[in-house]
Structure 1
Amino acid sequence: MQLGMIGLGRMGANMAQRLQRGGIAVTGFDPGAEARERAAAAGLPVVDGLQALLQALPAPRVLWLMVPAAAVDALLDELLPLLSPQDLLVDGGNSWYRDSQRRAQRCGQARLDYVDCGTSGGVWGLSEGYCLMLGGADDALARLRPALQALAPAPDRGWAHVGPVGAGHYCKMIHNGIEYGMMQAYAEGFALLQKKAEFALDLPQLAETWRHGSVVRSWLLDLSAEALQRNPQLQGIAPYVQDSGEGRWTVNEAIELDVPAPVITLSLLERLRSREDNSFADRLLAAMRAGFGGHALKRSADG
């Protein structure tokens, strides 16, 4: 099998390398010269334009897109006039599932196949394999099977055809919402442990203990244990947590479907809260307490 990889950032380049290791021929393209140079240095054949990429691939072509969700429509604007019927596009980024459904309809009008692939595994996917959740037609997935088996942790696990177009990115969206909740629970639990000064708990030791036999063991706990071992007090790390957008989409979906999802919702709100250096809400709370109860106000440095 041979395919083209569009988008050679860290994730795309790692996926291309894993495909190569699995016997899949990959040619890559990225609009950034630096990304192309890094990929070429890692042994990936690269080209410097979309036209050159399409010419390098046998028909019908398979193109795997690893670009930001906001860039997919513009990329399709460039690609569609160059493609031929039965070419297959795979969106392996974190697109909103409704956008994937719309893009598939657009591609279908041009007689192109479209698959949405929710991809989990992060920077460890190159060595450990990726978890892949795919939406699309049966025949399109059949064409992709060799690549999916190469990308997954093993040919028979870690990937699944979960439904029609849109289902892959929908499952990844919910996956990330669950991830938000799990991460928040670990963070709050270890904060409680760290605060209990009278026991002088060894957090790296405890995290390592929980990794073996505990019902809360997980890869996220493994990463927490590693981080605490390197830096027990997490010195130099700002308490500022970004979000990729998947958590917001999950919360919106919960509201739309009338499904209560308080843990996921609160974990998203905690990420937003982490970005406030001088919270107006908290200052107003302090002012209210002072107003009704005469509680002392703690003055800030700005007066």
Structure 2
Amino acid sequence: MMELGMVGLGRMGANMAQRLARQGHSVIGQDPDPQARRRIEDEGLRSVADLPALVQALAAPRVLWLMVPAGAAVDETLDALLPLLGPGDTIIDGGNSNYRDTTRRARRLEDAGLHFVDCGTSGGVWGLAEGYSMMVGGEAETVERLRPIFEALAPAPDQGWGHVGPVGAGHFTKMVHNGIEYGLMQAYAEGFAILHHKKDFALDLPQVAESWRTGSVVRSWLLDLTARALADDPSMAGLQPWVDDSGEGRWTVAEAIDLDVPAPVITQALIARLQSRDGEAFADRLLAAMRHQFGGHPVKTA
């Protein structure tokens, strides 16, 4: 069994720490937020408030798993950790970092004698019970040494995770994974919208979703979650029509353009999310005005 520090105890980080501990690994969590630390303390795990205390509590060679927001927070965490760590220590970035940032950070850590592994992690709030899908990038020897951690977090030791390539490959693969997710979600949403608007059939959408969950070629875990959402609120009346994005869909589209790979479904799914946030709907208003100008078509005034 292995010992590691979990840096960042948001919901996913806390759940991962708990799953590792349940598999017999020794986990010490770190987060400056007392409420976040209580998430694992209530489960019998140890936590500390700052990074120096975490590094001091771990035996060398240390393994630290970062679950902090992508971007500047990762660099700030590395800035704080580097003076505290020694040669042979390993840092795993389990967040949704841009793979280009990951390769840059890997070079910096290599110069300091540290090992760096990027782990694209999928599973969300269900990972504690179901296990996580992990796409791991890094040196083969380092990943093999960390195998017990990945096997404990995965749905089964030989399922749901893999060493996909060198440093950066894990986050690149997770980026594309999330781009695919955008397209799948958009297809389900559009299909159920068509069913919803066929008023003369008065379709029972929760029933349709349930019937598709078994035997259908479109069955999936995402459909399972869609069925749960429809069962809770068939009309979706309790939600605002606003769809956020974490950035990985944008990166996927940009990468597709750089590689000359057509990705119309993922691109359109991203655009649909952006359109959902346009409260002014200026473009749609202008389209209506243009139709009125050239064809005298009626418009609806505010």
Q: Which deviations, in whole Å up to 9, do the C-alpha atoms of 1:60-90 show, x marking residues without a partner? A: 0000000001210011110001100000000
TM-score for the superposition, normalised by structure 2:
0.98
Q: Which region of structure 1 is more displaced relative to structure 2, 28-37 or 151-160?
A: 28-37
Task: State the 1:278 CA deviation.
Answer: 2.0
Give the Cα–Cα distance (whole angstroms) in 1 for the partners of residues 280 and 50 of structure 2: 47
1:89-108 to structure 2, matched below 5 A, reads 89-108=91-110
Q: How does 1:221-240 map to 2 (within 5 A)?
A: 221-240=223-242
- Structure 2 distance, partners of 1:143, 1:62, is 11
The answer to whether structure 1 residue 136 and structure 2 residue 138 are counterparts is: yes
Residue equivalent to 1:22: 23
Shift of residue 143, structure 1, vs aligned partner: 1.7
Paired with 2:192 and 2:39, the residues of 1 have a C-alpha distance of 38
Amino acid at match of 2:6: M
Please tell me the residue identity of whatever aligns with 2:125. Answer: V
Query: 2:190 aligns to what SS in structure 1?
Result: helix
1:149, distance to aligned residue in structure 2 (A): 0.6
Between stretches 174-183 and 133-142, larger displacement belongs to 133-142
What TM-score do the two structures reach when normalised by structure 1? 0.98
Other-structure match for 1:197: 199
Q: Which runs of no fewer than 5 residues in structure 1 stay unpaired?
A: none
* 1:37 Cα offset (Å): 2.2
Aligned with 2:60: secondary structure? coil
Alignment deviations for residues 241-277 of structure 1 (CA, whole Å, 9 cap, x no partner): 0000000000000000000000000000000000112
CA distance in 1, matches of 2:53, 2:214: 51
Residues 97-126 of structure 1 deviation map (CA, whole Å, 9 limit, x = unaligned): 010000000000001000000000000000
Deviation of 1:43 after TM superposition, in Å, equals: 2.0
Q: Which residue of 1 aligns with 2:12?
A: 11
Q: Which amino acid aligns with 2:164?
A: V
SS in 1 for 2:65: strand
Matches within 5 A, 1:11-50: 11-50=12-51
Q: Secondary structure at the match of 2:59?
A: coil
Q: Distance in 2 between matches of 1:271 and 1:166?
A: 27
Structure 2: distance between partners of 1:79 and 1:261: 39
Runs of 4+ aligned structure 1 residues displaced above 3 Å come to none
Pick one of 274, 288, 297 that aligns with 1:286. Answer: 288
Q: What does 1:178-257 align with in structure 2 at a 5 Å threshold?
A: 178-257=180-259
CA distance in 2, matches of 1:297, 1:199: 30
Match of 1:262 in 2: 264
Tell me which residue corresponds to 2:168. Answer: 166
Give 3-state SS (helix, strand or coil) of 1:64's partner.
strand
Amino acid at match of 2:21: Q
Identical-residue share of aligned pairs (%): 67
2:115 is aligned to 113
SS at match of 2:155: coil
Q: 2:157 aligns with which of 151, 155, 158?
A: 155
Q: Residues 202-251 of structure 1: CA distance to partner in whole angstroms, max 9, x if unpaired? A: 11111000000000000110011111111111121111000000000000
**What amino acid is the match of 2:9?**
L
In structure 1, how many angstroms separate the alpha carbons of the residues matched to 2:282 and 2:189? 24
| 1:296 match | 298
Q: For 1:75 and 1:252, locate their aligned partners in 2 and report how far apart those are by CA, in whole Å.
A: 27
Name the count of aligned residue pairs: 300
Secondary structure of 1:134's aligned partner:
strand
- The Cα RMSD (Å) is 0.7
Separation of aligned partners in 1, 2:106 and 2:55? 20
CA distance in 1, matches of 2:260, 2:207: 42
Look up the equivalent residue of 2:144 and give its one-letter code.
Answer: A
